[in-house]
Amino acid sequence: MKASEGKIGRVFVLRLEDGDMVPECIERFAAEKGIKVAHVILIGGIGGGRVVVGPKESDKMPPEPVLLPVEGAHEVEGVGIIAPNKEGKPVLHIHA
């Protein structure tokens, strides 16, 4: 097992507006605020979209996602992280 310790720094609460896309809004906000790594908690509702329900093949890398359409209003909760990609851009990885 590996472990590390951290401290909570800045805390932000975001309220997205109707039509806002979750990943794009959170990633743009992180870039604007200079956030490199973060813990994300999502609580709210969506009016539609797509969710990843699993890889098409479990042993294939990188995994090819299976996207499930979501239509109409649904409650949603999720947890995730923001971490930099190879170019240093903040990217959201969330499980909802």
Q: What is the mean pLDDT of each run of 10 residues along the chain (96 residues)?
A: 94 95 96 97 91 88 91 93 98 93
Based on its alpha-carbon atoms, the radius of gyration of the chain, rounded to whole angstroms, reads 15
Cα–Cα distance, 81 to 92 (Å, whole number): 6
Q: How far apart are CA 96 and CA 76, in angstroms?
A: 7
Does residue 84 form part of some domain? yes
Number of domains in the chain: 1
Structural domain range at position 57: 22-95
* The token pair that represents 25 in the structure block: 């809004």
37: in domain? yes
Q: Residue 7: inside a domain, yes or no? A: no
CATH number of the domain bearing residue 39:
3.30.1330.80
This prediction has a pTM of: 0.82
User: Is the residue at 5 inside a domain?
Assistant: no
**95 neighbors 72 (Cβ within 8 angstroms):** no
